[in-house]
Structure 1
Amino acid sequence: MPSSADRPSPNGDDSLRLLSLVERTLTGRLEEALRSCDSSLDQWRILRLLADRGGSPMNVVADHAMLLAPKLSKLVDRMVAANLILRRQDHEDRRRVLIVVSERGRRALAEWDEATAEVRAQFRELLGADAEQFGALLRRLQDGLDPAAVEPSTAVPG
Protein backbone atom coordinates (compact mmCIF):
# COMPACT_ATOMS: atom_id res chain seq x y z
CA MET A 1 0.00 0.00 0.00
CA PRO A 2 1.46 3.41 -0.99
CA SER A 3 2.40 5.78 1.82
CA SER A 4 0.68 9.13 2.18
CA ALA A 5 3.84 10.76 0.77
CA ASP A 6 3.42 8.74 -2.45
CA ARG A 7 -0.20 9.77 -3.04
CA PRO A 8 -1.07 13.11 -4.60
CA SER A 9 -2.80 15.48 -2.24
CA PRO A 10 -6.52 15.89 -2.94
CA ASN A 11 -6.27 19.66 -3.41
CA GLY A 12 -3.53 19.62 -6.07
CA ASP A 13 -0.80 21.13 -3.90
CA ASP A 14 1.47 18.21 -4.77
CA SER A 15 1.90 19.50 -8.34
CA LEU A 16 2.97 22.91 -7.06
CA ARG A 17 5.43 21.33 -4.63
CA LEU A 18 6.85 19.09 -7.34
CA LEU A 19 7.20 22.04 -9.72
CA SER A 20 9.15 23.90 -7.02
CA LEU A 21 11.37 20.88 -6.35
CA VAL A 22 12.16 20.45 -10.05
CA GLU A 23 12.95 24.16 -10.38
CA ARG A 24 15.27 24.06 -7.36
CA THR A 25 17.04 20.95 -8.60
CA LEU A 26 17.57 22.27 -12.12
CA THR A 27 18.63 25.69 -10.87
CA GLY A 28 21.13 24.11 -8.50
CA ARG A 29 22.62 21.92 -11.22
CA LEU A 30 22.87 24.82 -13.67
CA GLU A 31 24.46 27.05 -11.02
CA GLU A 32 26.99 24.35 -10.17
CA ALA A 33 27.92 23.91 -13.83
CA LEU A 34 28.27 27.67 -14.30
CA ARG A 35 30.35 28.11 -11.13
CA SER A 36 33.02 25.98 -12.80
CA CYS A 37 33.30 28.80 -15.38
CA ASP A 38 33.22 31.62 -12.80
CA SER A 39 29.74 32.56 -13.98
CA SER A 40 26.23 32.67 -12.55
CA LEU A 41 22.80 31.64 -13.69
CA ASP A 42 21.78 35.30 -13.93
CA GLN A 43 24.74 36.14 -16.18
CA TRP A 44 24.00 33.13 -18.39
CA ARG A 45 20.33 34.06 -18.70
CA ILE A 46 21.23 37.62 -19.65
CA LEU A 47 23.80 36.64 -22.28
CA ARG A 48 21.50 33.95 -23.70
CA LEU A 49 18.70 36.53 -24.11
CA LEU A 50 20.98 39.08 -25.73
CA ALA A 51 22.54 36.53 -28.07
CA ASP A 52 19.10 35.31 -29.12
CA ARG A 53 17.39 38.70 -29.48
CA GLY A 54 20.14 41.22 -30.05
CA GLY A 55 19.92 44.43 -28.06
CA SER A 56 17.31 44.61 -25.31
CA PRO A 57 16.24 47.36 -22.95
CA MET A 58 16.83 46.87 -19.23
CA ASN A 59 13.16 46.15 -18.42
CA VAL A 60 13.09 43.21 -20.87
CA VAL A 61 16.37 41.89 -19.47
CA ALA A 62 15.04 42.24 -15.90
CA ASP A 63 11.87 40.30 -16.76
CA HIS A 64 13.79 37.56 -18.56
CA ALA A 65 16.43 37.18 -15.83
CA MET A 66 13.77 37.52 -13.10
CA LEU A 67 15.73 40.25 -11.33
CA LEU A 68 14.66 43.46 -9.66
CA ALA A 69 16.07 46.66 -11.16
CA PRO A 70 18.68 47.41 -8.44
CA LYS A 71 20.21 43.93 -8.59
CA LEU A 72 20.12 43.93 -12.40
CA SER A 73 21.81 47.34 -12.56
CA LYS A 74 24.69 46.14 -10.38
CA LEU A 75 25.05 42.93 -12.38
CA VAL A 76 24.94 44.78 -15.71
CA ASP A 77 27.61 47.21 -14.43
CA ARG A 78 29.86 44.24 -13.53
CA MET A 79 29.20 42.58 -16.89
CA VAL A 80 30.01 45.83 -18.73
CA ALA A 81 33.23 46.16 -16.70
CA ALA A 82 34.12 42.57 -17.68
CA ASN A 83 33.39 43.44 -21.34
CA LEU A 84 30.70 40.74 -21.59
CA ILE A 85 28.00 43.22 -22.61
CA LEU A 86 27.87 46.76 -23.97
CA ARG A 87 25.42 49.61 -23.61
CA ARG A 88 24.22 51.11 -26.90
CA GLN A 89 21.79 53.87 -27.75
CA ASP A 90 18.58 52.59 -29.37
CA HIS A 91 18.47 53.78 -33.00
CA GLU A 92 14.66 53.95 -32.94
CA ASP A 93 14.33 55.78 -29.60
CA ARG A 94 17.48 57.72 -28.86
CA ARG A 95 16.42 58.22 -25.22
CA ARG A 96 16.51 54.48 -24.58
CA VAL A 97 19.63 52.42 -23.88
CA LEU A 98 19.93 48.87 -25.13
CA ILE A 99 22.21 46.19 -23.75
CA VAL A 100 24.00 44.05 -26.33
CA VAL A 101 26.35 41.11 -26.03
CA SER A 102 30.00 41.84 -26.83
CA GLU A 103 32.33 39.57 -28.77
CA ARG A 104 33.94 38.52 -25.49
CA GLY A 105 30.44 37.84 -24.15
CA ARG A 106 29.71 35.56 -27.13
CA ARG A 107 32.84 33.54 -26.38
CA ALA A 108 31.90 33.32 -22.70
CA LEU A 109 28.36 32.27 -23.61
CA ALA A 110 29.69 29.45 -25.79
CA GLU A 111 31.75 28.24 -22.82
CA TRP A 112 28.76 28.55 -20.46
CA ASP A 113 26.46 26.75 -22.90
CA GLU A 114 29.00 23.93 -23.05
CA ALA A 115 29.21 23.82 -19.25
CA THR A 116 25.41 23.52 -18.94
CA ALA A 117 24.92 21.18 -21.91
CA GLU A 118 24.82 18.02 -19.80
CA VAL A 119 22.13 19.41 -17.49
CA ARG A 120 20.03 20.60 -20.43
CA ALA A 121 20.47 17.28 -22.26
CA GLN A 122 19.41 15.30 -19.20
CA PHE A 123 16.31 17.49 -18.89
CA ARG A 124 15.36 16.90 -22.53
CA GLU A 125 16.14 13.18 -22.24
CA LEU A 126 13.94 12.77 -19.18
CA LEU A 127 11.02 14.49 -20.93
CA GLY A 128 11.65 12.94 -24.34
CA ALA A 129 8.83 13.63 -26.76
CA ASP A 130 6.94 15.49 -24.02
CA ALA A 131 9.51 18.33 -23.82
CA GLU A 132 7.64 20.60 -26.24
CA GLN A 133 4.29 19.93 -24.58
CA PHE A 134 5.80 20.57 -21.16
CA GLY A 135 7.20 23.89 -22.34
CA ALA A 136 3.83 24.84 -23.83
CA LEU A 137 2.04 23.96 -20.59
CA LEU A 138 4.47 26.04 -18.54
CA ARG A 139 4.07 29.00 -20.92
CA ARG A 140 0.27 28.65 -20.63
CA LEU A 141 0.56 28.67 -16.85
CA GLN A 142 2.83 31.71 -16.95
CA ASP A 143 0.52 33.58 -19.31
CA GLY A 144 -2.48 32.75 -17.13
CA LEU A 145 -0.75 33.80 -13.93
CA ASP A 146 0.78 36.97 -15.38
CA PRO A 147 -1.15 38.05 -18.47
CA ALA A 148 0.67 41.41 -18.49
CA ALA A 149 4.07 39.74 -18.87
CA VAL A 150 6.28 41.27 -21.57
CA GLU A 151 7.37 37.84 -22.73
CA PRO A 152 6.63 34.35 -21.48
CA SER A 153 9.51 32.76 -19.63
CA THR A 154 11.37 30.04 -21.40
CA ALA A 155 10.41 26.85 -19.65
CA VAL A 156 12.77 24.34 -21.18
CA PRO A 157 16.46 25.07 -20.46
CA GLY A 158 18.69 25.44 -23.43
Structure 2
Amino acid sequence: MPTEPSHQRPPEPPYDLAHLLSHAERRLVRRLAAVLAAEGCAVEQWRVLSAVADGAGHPMTEIAEYALLPAPSLTKLVDRMVADNLVYRRPDPGDRRRVLLHLAARGRILHQRAAHRVAEDQAALRAALPADPDDLARALAGLADALDSPAAPAASRRPAH
Protein backbone atom coordinates (compact mmCIF):
# COMPACT_ATOMS: atom_id res chain seq x y z
CA MET A 1 0.00 0.00 0.00
CA PRO A 2 1.61 3.32 -1.06
CA THR A 3 2.27 5.81 1.64
CA GLU A 4 1.13 9.35 1.33
CA PRO A 5 3.79 12.03 1.09
CA SER A 6 4.61 13.65 4.38
CA HIS A 7 3.42 17.24 4.75
CA GLN A 8 5.18 17.84 8.01
CA ARG A 9 7.13 21.04 8.39
CA PRO A 10 10.86 20.63 8.80
CA PRO A 11 12.05 21.00 12.38
CA GLU A 12 12.56 24.54 13.61
CA PRO A 13 16.20 25.59 13.49
CA PRO A 14 17.81 26.38 16.82
CA TYR A 15 17.00 29.82 18.17
CA ASP A 16 19.81 32.07 16.87
CA LEU A 17 19.58 35.59 18.28
CA ALA A 18 22.36 36.95 16.05
CA HIS A 19 20.62 35.68 12.91
CA LEU A 20 17.21 36.96 13.96
CA LEU A 21 18.58 40.41 14.79
CA SER A 22 20.62 40.60 11.56
CA HIS A 23 17.63 39.55 9.49
CA ALA A 24 15.35 42.11 11.16
CA GLU A 25 17.98 44.87 10.90
CA ARG A 26 18.50 44.29 7.17
CA ARG A 27 14.79 44.39 6.46
CA LEU A 28 14.29 47.46 8.65
CA VAL A 29 17.14 49.34 6.95
CA ARG A 30 15.79 48.38 3.52
CA ARG A 31 12.38 49.71 4.55
CA LEU A 32 13.92 52.90 5.98
CA ALA A 33 15.86 53.41 2.73
CA ALA A 34 12.62 53.19 0.74
CA VAL A 35 10.91 55.72 3.04
CA LEU A 36 13.86 58.12 2.84
CA ALA A 37 14.21 57.74 -0.93
CA ALA A 38 10.97 59.70 -1.31
CA GLU A 39 12.89 62.70 0.08
CA GLY A 40 16.08 61.97 -1.85
CA CYS A 41 17.90 61.03 1.34
CA ALA A 42 20.10 57.98 1.97
CA VAL A 43 20.11 56.09 5.27
CA GLU A 44 23.65 57.24 6.10
CA GLN A 45 22.71 60.87 5.40
CA TRP A 46 19.64 60.44 7.59
CA ARG A 47 21.75 59.21 10.47
CA VAL A 48 24.11 62.19 10.18
CA LEU A 49 21.21 64.65 9.94
CA SER A 50 19.57 63.03 12.97
CA ALA A 51 22.79 63.18 14.98
CA VAL A 52 23.11 66.94 14.52
CA ALA A 53 19.41 67.87 14.45
CA ASP A 54 19.47 69.06 18.07
CA GLY A 55 21.46 72.13 17.00
CA ALA A 56 24.21 71.61 19.58
CA GLY A 57 27.03 70.76 17.18
CA HIS A 58 28.72 67.39 17.51
CA PRO A 59 32.27 66.09 16.96
CA MET A 60 32.89 63.69 14.12
CA THR A 61 33.79 60.83 16.50
CA GLU A 62 30.36 61.06 18.11
CA ILE A 63 28.62 61.19 14.75
CA ALA A 64 30.62 58.21 13.43
CA GLU A 65 29.48 56.14 16.40
CA TYR A 66 25.85 57.23 16.01
CA ALA A 67 25.83 56.79 12.23
CA LEU A 68 27.56 53.38 12.45
CA LEU A 69 30.22 54.49 9.98
CA PRO A 70 34.01 54.25 10.08
CA ALA A 71 35.72 57.65 10.28
CA PRO A 72 37.02 57.70 6.65
CA SER A 73 33.57 56.87 5.26
CA LEU A 74 31.94 59.49 7.46
CA THR A 75 34.45 62.12 6.32
CA LYS A 76 33.63 61.44 2.65
CA LEU A 77 29.90 61.51 3.35
CA VAL A 78 30.13 64.75 5.35
CA ASP A 79 32.23 66.34 2.60
CA ARG A 80 29.40 65.59 0.14
CA MET A 81 26.79 66.85 2.62
CA VAL A 82 28.76 70.08 3.11
CA ALA A 83 28.93 70.50 -0.68
CA ASP A 84 25.15 69.96 -0.82
CA ASN A 85 24.69 72.61 1.92
CA LEU A 86 23.06 70.15 4.32
CA VAL A 87 25.61 70.52 7.13
CA TYR A 88 28.56 72.74 7.97
CA ARG A 89 31.68 72.45 10.11
CA ARG A 90 32.80 74.91 12.79
CA PRO A 91 35.73 74.79 15.23
CA ASP A 92 34.78 73.67 18.72
CA PRO A 93 34.91 76.79 20.92
CA GLY A 94 36.05 74.66 23.87
CA ASP A 95 38.81 72.87 21.95
CA ARG A 96 40.01 74.56 18.77
CA ARG A 97 41.60 71.29 17.61
CA ARG A 98 38.17 69.68 17.22
CA VAL A 99 35.56 70.40 14.59
CA LEU A 100 31.84 70.31 15.31
CA LEU A 101 29.22 69.47 12.72
CA HIS A 102 26.02 71.52 12.53
CA LEU A 103 22.83 71.31 10.52
CA ALA A 104 22.50 73.88 7.74
CA ALA A 105 19.10 75.41 6.91
CA ARG A 106 18.70 73.15 3.88
CA GLY A 107 19.61 70.13 6.02
CA ARG A 108 17.06 71.14 8.65
CA ILE A 109 14.31 71.24 6.02
CA LEU A 110 15.33 67.84 4.67
CA HIS A 111 15.52 66.41 8.18
CA GLN A 112 12.06 67.72 9.09
CA ARG A 113 10.45 66.33 5.93
CA ALA A 114 12.19 62.97 6.26
CA ALA A 115 11.50 62.78 10.02
CA HIS A 116 7.78 63.11 9.31
CA ARG A 117 7.89 60.18 6.87
CA VAL A 118 10.05 58.06 9.19
CA ALA A 119 7.75 58.74 12.15
CA GLU A 120 4.69 57.68 10.15
CA ASP A 121 6.38 54.48 9.01
CA GLN A 122 7.64 53.65 12.50
CA ALA A 123 4.16 54.22 13.93
CA ALA A 124 2.83 51.65 11.46
CA LEU A 125 5.57 49.21 12.47
CA ARG A 126 4.93 49.78 16.17
CA ALA A 127 1.24 49.05 15.66
CA ALA A 128 2.10 45.76 13.94
CA LEU A 129 4.27 44.49 16.81
CA PRO A 130 2.66 41.80 18.95
CA ALA A 131 4.21 43.17 22.15
CA ASP A 132 4.68 46.63 23.61
CA PRO A 133 7.19 48.41 21.32
CA ASP A 134 8.68 50.19 24.31
CA ASP A 135 9.46 46.80 25.89
CA LEU A 136 11.23 45.77 22.68
CA ALA A 137 13.20 49.05 22.60
CA ARG A 138 14.24 48.60 26.24
CA ALA A 139 15.22 44.97 25.61
CA LEU A 140 17.34 45.92 22.59
CA ALA A 141 18.99 48.76 24.53
CA GLY A 142 19.72 46.34 27.36
CA LEU A 143 21.17 43.84 24.90
CA ALA A 144 23.41 46.53 23.39
CA ASP A 145 24.61 47.51 26.87
CA ALA A 146 25.29 43.87 27.75
CA LEU A 147 27.25 43.40 24.53
CA ASP A 148 29.34 46.48 25.36
CA SER A 149 30.15 45.23 28.86
CA PRO A 150 33.66 43.95 29.55
CA ALA A 151 32.41 40.51 30.62
CA ALA A 152 33.96 37.59 28.77
CA PRO A 153 31.81 35.70 26.23
CA ALA A 154 30.14 32.61 27.67
CA ALA A 155 32.22 30.26 25.50
CA SER A 156 35.44 31.49 27.08
CA ARG A 157 34.22 31.26 30.70
CA ARG A 158 35.37 28.28 32.69
CA PRO A 159 33.23 26.84 35.44
CA ALA A 160 34.59 27.29 38.95
CA HIS A 161 35.70 24.08 40.64
TM-score range, shorter chain: 0.7 to 0.9
Contact 2:60 2:100 in 1 (8 A): yes
> Offset at 1:19?
1.6
Contact 1:54 1:101 in 2 (8 A): no
> Offset at 1:35?
1.6
Is residue 6 of structure 2 the alignment partner of residue 21 of structure 1?
no
Match for residue 114 of structure 1 among 99, 116, 133: 116
Q: How does 1:86-105 map to 2 (within 5 A)?
A: 86-105=88-107
Amino acid at match of 1:44: W
1:89–1:30 CA distance, 2 compared to 1 (3 A): same
Q: Distance in 1 between matches of 2:148 and 2:36?
A: 29
Q: Secondary structure at the match of 2:88?
A: strand
**Bigger Rg over Cα:** 2
> Offset at 1:137?
1.1
Structure 1 gaps, min length 5:
149-158
Q: Secondary structure at the match of 1:89?
A: strand
Q: Distance in 2 between matches of 1:118 and 1:2?
A: 40
More helix by share: 1
Q: Distance in 2 between matches of 1:34 and 1:62?
A: 20
1:103–1:129 CA distance, 2 compared to 1 (3 A): farther
Is residue 9 of structure 2 the alignment partner of residue 3 of structure 1?
yes
1:26–1:3 CA distance, 2 compared to 1 (3 A): same
The 10-residue stretch of structure 1 (79-88 or 30-39) with the greater mean CA deviation from structure 2:
30-39
Q: How does 1:27-46 map to 2 (within 5 A)?
A: 27-46=29-48
Q: Give the TM-score taking structure 2 as reference length.
A: 0.80
Q: Give the TM-score taking structure 1 as reference length.
A: 0.81
Structure 2 gaps, min length 5:
1-6, 151-161
Amino acid at match of 1:3: R
Cα RMSD between the aligned structures? Answer: 2.1
Q: How many residues align?
A: 144
Question: Structure 1 stretches (4+) deviating beyond 6 angstroms?
Answer: none
Q: Deviations over 1:77-112 (max 9, x none)?
A: 011111111101111112111001112111010111
Contact 1:87 1:98 in 2 (8 A): yes
Contact 1:37 1:112 in 2 (8 A): yes
Q: Distance in 1 between matches of 2:68 and 2:77?
A: 13
Identity of aligned residues (%): 42
